């Protein structure tokens, strides 16, 4: 039912034009002057992805020019926050380049706040700098537009194409234009997946009238994971889903409040509840609770325990800071430039933070590779610092040849945020160009048959609907298809109840996970019958399929790791303690594309930064 088929051949194909994708398109042009570079985006790159609404801070700036921090410091910070488990080679690589990225944003006209006394970028916290960032996304999009040969907006990529000459080598990607219904085939020498994280796989707190309101972008649908998983790329740390402390109902971020406005939390009795949970948390995680700053998950843990013990609601004490007119302005602007919905919720609930301390909540879990979490694809590190197990030729290349990742797509490199994601896109693109120059992409063959088969698969939900609707005699429920929204709610219920969502206070165990996997498998079967009434619903159908595959992978990983490494993100009730002896490691999965079965393994964690320093000292 596709209208037309459009073929486009290129050298570098960037899937997703968010922060990482725009960085990739920009850098690919720098190194590959004569290469054909295409970026394909589901929405419109001017306002797509997590930064669509803007941001009020760049959360990752080292400040090397002023000696504020060094790259090693950031590696230690991310390692600490993730309870010891990160890919330090990837983190270090990003840290040594991220400042240069931020300086380009400054050159391109992003309004940076300056400290009037020092002239430096205005710090919000140790790593964060403040911006007037409502137009952050259009600014980086312009750089991508000027670099790429072509940007295709409104095309959702649904599958990767594979080379038929050499096994395990990528050959491009396919998708459809959700406005025209045309089928697109992009045959490419390299593909960089930069398709963002995953919201809406766990049941959100905002349902009914608030449905669609989440902290992470509601349109982040896990393509970043589903695309590589489907072709057998290895994934890492997919169990490390993130839960965030957020202002209630609007999901407004708390960073600027904690770090810049110096607001603090208290329980309903006005007590500092975090202290109360110290001893009990120490029993679970040992000395990790004494680390500074307190890891994000452990801050959540105290919040969740306090609420379960009846100490809620938890409030952010804003009344003191908001007496200062400057801080009051910052408090409001922070949301007006980033999460307008929070300001609207406050207005609608009659909350003026100057006179009322607003409530906080813990969010439903999200799957991401770029915040205080590091789920994603298992990629090669940089050649100068990656240990042998982490290196297979090209920086940020997945275990599928020619397939690269960046931003939320890449696992193991936490705390990249907007600036680190753009930086990682640049690193991936530089390596992709090298891969082409070193003739690793020669003689790729993608047959017409492969493309035709995908066309049939992609447009099938339209046919399911067209045929199935004839059986409806009243109402909208069909005996032979399910709609994308019905499927989404079924997925969210499974993930919520069996894999550690909000309804169960993030609790799960082996038995519930196994049952969850069974239900997910049956959901996958039924998704063959998803029906789409138009091209927009076709996108919803494919978003759902990508979310479901991502969810399967998250569940397999959660089952594999027999410990509770990040209390506050989720709990394995059958293994409530952190277990460094057996689980101070990264988890890897691979789904066999032929059988659909996952296999799991452990990979070592190398603490490269301090090893390097120890060697230098000796």
What is 111-153 written as a DSSP string?
A: -B-B-TTT-SBPBSSSS-EEEEETTHHHHHHHHHHHHSSEEE-
How far is residue 195's CA from residue 241's CA, in Å, rounded to a whole number? Answer: 17
Confirm or reject binding of residue 125 to ligand AMP (CB under 6 A): yes
Confirm or reject binding of residue 258 to ligand AMP (CB under 6 A): yes
Instruction: Pick one of ligand SFD, ligand AMP, none as the site partner of residue 322 (Cβ within 5 to 8 A by kind).
Output: none
Q: Which residues, numbered 417-446, are part of the site for ligand SFD (CB under 6 A)?
A: 417-419, 421
Which of 10, 25, 28, 51 is the binder for ligand SFD (CB under 6 A)? 51
Distance of CA 443 to the CA centre of its chain: 33
Half-sphere exposure of 229 (CA within 13 A, CB side): 31
Q: What is the DSSP letter of 367?
A: B
Confirm or reject binding of residue 255 to ligand AMP (CB under 6 A): yes
Distances (CA, A) of 133 to 101, 106, 137, 407: 15, 11, 8, 19
Q: 10 φ, ψ to 5°?
A: -155, 175
Give the binding-site size for ligand SFD (rule: CB under 6 A): 44
Which of 10, 12, 35, 41 is the binder for ligand SFD (CB under 6 A)? 41
Nearest residue to ligand AMP, by Cβ distance, number only: 255
Spatial contact of 604 and 586, defined as CB atoms under 8 Å apart: yes
Spatial contact of 411 and 5, defined as CB atoms under 8 Å apart: no
Q: Which residues, numbered 348-377, are part of the site for ligand SFD (CB under 6 A)?
A: 370-371
How far is residue 38's CA from residue 189's CA, in Å, rounded to a whole number? Answer: 11
For ligand SFD, give the closer residue by CB, 409 or 558. Answer: 409
Q: For the beta carbon of residue 442, count every other beta carbon within 10 angstroms.
A: 10
How far is residue 565's CA from residue 286's CA, in Å, rounded to a whole number? Answer: 11
In whole angstroms, the minimum distance from the beta carbon of 72 to ligand AMP comes to 18
Q: Is the peptide bond before 230 cis (omega within 30 degrees of 0)?
A: no
From residue 223 to residue 262, the character string flagging contacts with ligand SFD as x (rule: CB under 6 A) and all else as - is x-----------------------------x-x-------
How far is residue 80's CA from residue 297's CA, in Å, rounded to a whole number? Answer: 11
In whole angstroms, the minimum distance from the beta carbon of 584 to ligand SFD comes to 26
Confirm or reject binding of residue 59 to ligand SFD (CB under 6 A): yes
In whole angstroms, the minimum distance from the beta carbon of 330 to ligand SFD comes to 13
Stretch of 121-129, 307-315, 448-456, 610-618 contacting ligand AMP, by CB under 6 A: 121-129
Which of 99, 408, 496, 497 is the binder for ligand SFD (CB under 6 A)? 408
Spatial contact of 376 and 224, defined as CB atoms under 8 Å apart: yes
Confirm or reject binding of residue 57 to ligand SFD (CB under 6 A): yes
Which of 141, 143, 151, 157 is the binder for ligand SFD (CB under 6 A)? 157
Confirm or reject binding of residue 498 to ligand AMP (CB under 6 A): no
For ligand AMP, give the closer residue by CB, 303 or 459. Answer: 303
Stretch of 251-259, 325-333, 485-493, 582-590 contacting ligand AMP, by CB under 6 A: 251-259
Distance of CA 94 to the CA centre of its chain: 16
For ligand AMP, give the closer residue by CB, 223 or 363. Answer: 363
Confirm or reject binding of residue 42 to ligand SFD (CB under 6 A): yes
Residue recorded with tokens 């320093």: 613
Instruction: Pick one of ligand SFD, ligand AMP, none as the site partner of residue 51 (Cβ within 5 to 8 A by kind).
Output: ligand SFD
Q: Is 205 helix (H, G, I), strand (E, B) or coil?
A: coil
Stretch of 43-51, 92-100, 301-309, 564-572 contacting ligand SFD, by CB under 6 A: 43-51
Residue recorded with tokens 């550690």: 500
For ligand AMP, give the closer residue by CB, 254 or 495. Answer: 254
For residue 184, the cross-strand partners are 6, 175
Stretch of 262-270, 353-361, 413-421, 441-449 contacting ligand SFD, by CB under 6 A: 413-421
For ligand AMP, give the closer residue by CB, 372 or 436. Answer: 372
How far is residue 333's CA from residue 329's CA, in Å, rounded to a whole number? Answer: 6
Which of 63, 293, 312, 387 is the binder for ligand AMP (CB under 6 A)? 293
Which of 172, 295, 337, 407 is the binder for ligand SFD (CB under 6 A)? 407
Stretch of 15-23, 253-261, 451-459, 534-542 contacting ligand AMP, by CB under 6 A: 253-261
In whole angstroms, the minimum distance from the beta carbon of 127 to ligand AMP comes to 6
In whole angstroms, the minimum distance from the beta carbon of 479 to ligand SFD comes to 30
In whole angstroms, the minimum distance from the beta carbon of 257 to ligand AMP comes to 8
In whole angstroms, the minimum distance from the beta carbon of 417 to ligand AMP comes to 7
b/e string for 489-513 if b means 16 or more Cβ within 10 A?
ebbbbbbbbbbbbbebebbbbeebb
Instruction: Pick one of ligand SFD, ligand AMP, none as the site partner of residue 297 (Cβ within 5 to 8 A by kind).
Output: none
Distances (CA, A) of 23 to 30, 131, 148: 11, 19, 11
Spatial contact of 51 and 18, defined as CB atoms under 8 Å apart: yes
How far is residue 228's CA from residue 195's CA, in Å, rounded to a whole number? Answer: 11
Q: What is the DSSP letter of 293?
A: S
Nearest residue to ligand SFD, by Cβ distance, number only: 18
Spatial contact of 201 and 238, defined as CB atoms under 8 Å apart: no
Burial class (CB in 10 A: 0-12, 13-18, 19+), 531: buried
How far is residue 265's CA from residue 357's CA, in Å, rounded to a whole number? Answer: 9
Q: Which residues, numbered 369-408, are part of the site for ligand AMP (CB under 6 A)?
A: 372
Q: Is the peptide bond before 183 cis (omega within 30 degrees of 0)?
A: no
Instruction: Pick one of ligand SFD, ligand AMP, none as the site partner of residue 483 (Cβ within 5 to 8 A by kind).
Output: none
Instruction: Note the residues at the interface with ligand AMP (CB under 6 A).
Output: 59, 125, 127-128, 253-255, 258-259, 293, 296, 372
The site for ligand SFD (CB under 6 A) is made up of 15-21, 40-43, 48-51, 55-59, 156-157, 194-196, 215-217, 219-221, 223, 253, 255, 338-339, 370-371, 407-408, 417-419, 421
């Amino acid at each position: 039912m596709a209208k037309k088929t459009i073929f486009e051949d290129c050298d570098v194909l960037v899937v997703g034009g968010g922060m990482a994708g725009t960085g990739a398109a920009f850098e690919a042009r720098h190194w590959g002057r004569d290469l054909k570079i295409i970026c394909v985006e589901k929405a419109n790159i001017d306002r797509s992805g997590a930064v669509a609404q803007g941001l009020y801070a760049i959360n990752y700036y080292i400040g090397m020019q002023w000696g504020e921090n060094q790259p090693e410091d950031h590696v230690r910070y991310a390692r600490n926050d993730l309870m010891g488990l990160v890919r330090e080679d990837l983190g270090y690589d990003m840290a040594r380049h991220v400042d240069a990225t931020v300086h380009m944003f400054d050159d391109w006209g992003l309004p940076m706040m300056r400290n009037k006394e020092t002239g430096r970028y205005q710090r919000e916290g140790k790593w964060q700098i403040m911006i007037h960032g409502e137009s952050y996304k259009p600014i980086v999009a312009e750089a991508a537009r000027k670099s790429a040969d072509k940007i295709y907006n409104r095309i959702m990529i649904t599958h990767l194409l594979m080379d038929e000459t050499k096994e395990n080598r990528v050959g491009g990607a396919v998708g459809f234009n959700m406005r025209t219904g045309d089928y697109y085939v992009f045959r490419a020498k390299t593909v960089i997946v930069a398709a963002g994280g995953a919201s809406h796989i766990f049941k959100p707190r905002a349902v009914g009238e608030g449905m669609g309101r989440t902290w992470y972008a509601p349109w982040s649908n896990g393509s970043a994971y589903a695309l590589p998983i489907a072709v057998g790329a290895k994934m890492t740390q997919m169990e490390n889903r993130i839960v965030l402390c957020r202002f209630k109902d609007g999901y407004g971020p708390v960073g600027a409040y904690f770090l810049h406005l110096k607001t603090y939390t208290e329980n309903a009795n006005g007590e500092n509840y975090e202290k109360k949970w110290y001893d009990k948390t120490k029993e679970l995680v040992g000395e990790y609770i004494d680390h500074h700053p307190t890891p994000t998950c452990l801050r959540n843990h105290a919040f969740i325990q306090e609420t379960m013990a009846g100490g809620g609601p938890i409030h952010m004490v804003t009344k003191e800071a908001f007496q200062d007119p400057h801080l009051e302005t910052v408090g409001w602007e922070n949301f007006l430039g980033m999460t307008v919905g929070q300001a609207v919720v406050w207005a609608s609930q009659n909350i003026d933070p100057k006179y009322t301390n607003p409530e906080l909540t813990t969010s439903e879990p999200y799957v991401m590779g770029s915040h205080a979490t590091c789920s994603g694809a298992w990629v090669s590190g940089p050649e100068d610092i990656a240990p042998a197990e982490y290196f297979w030729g090209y920086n940020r290349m997945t275990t599928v040849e020619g397939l690269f990742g960046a931003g939320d797509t890449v696992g193991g490199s936490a705390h990249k945020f907007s600036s680190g994601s753009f930086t990682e896109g640049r690193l991936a693109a530089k390596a992709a160009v090298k891969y082409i120059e070193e003739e690793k992409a020669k003689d790729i063959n993608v047959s017409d048959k492969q493309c035709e088969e995908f066309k049939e698969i992609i447009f099938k939900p339209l046919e399911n609907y067209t045929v199935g609707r004839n059986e409806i005699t009243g109402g909208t429920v069909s005996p032979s298809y399910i709609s994308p929204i019905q499927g989404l709610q079924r997925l969210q219920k499974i993930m919520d109840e069996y894999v550690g969502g909000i309804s169960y206070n993030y609790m799960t165990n082996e038995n519930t996970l196994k049952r969850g996997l069974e239900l997910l498998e049956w959901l996958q079967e039924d998704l063959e019958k998803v029906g789409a009434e138009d091209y927009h619903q076709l996108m919803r159908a494919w978003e759902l399929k990508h979310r479901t595959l991502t969810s399967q992978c998250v569940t397999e990983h959660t089952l594999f790791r027999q410990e509770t490494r990040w209390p506050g993100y989720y709990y394995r009730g059958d293994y409530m303690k952190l277990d460094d002896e057996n689980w101070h490691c990264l988890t890897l999965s691979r789904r066999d594309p032929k059988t659909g079965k996952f296999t799991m393994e452990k990979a070592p964690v190398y603490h490269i930064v301090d090893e390097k320093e120890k060697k230098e000292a000796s």
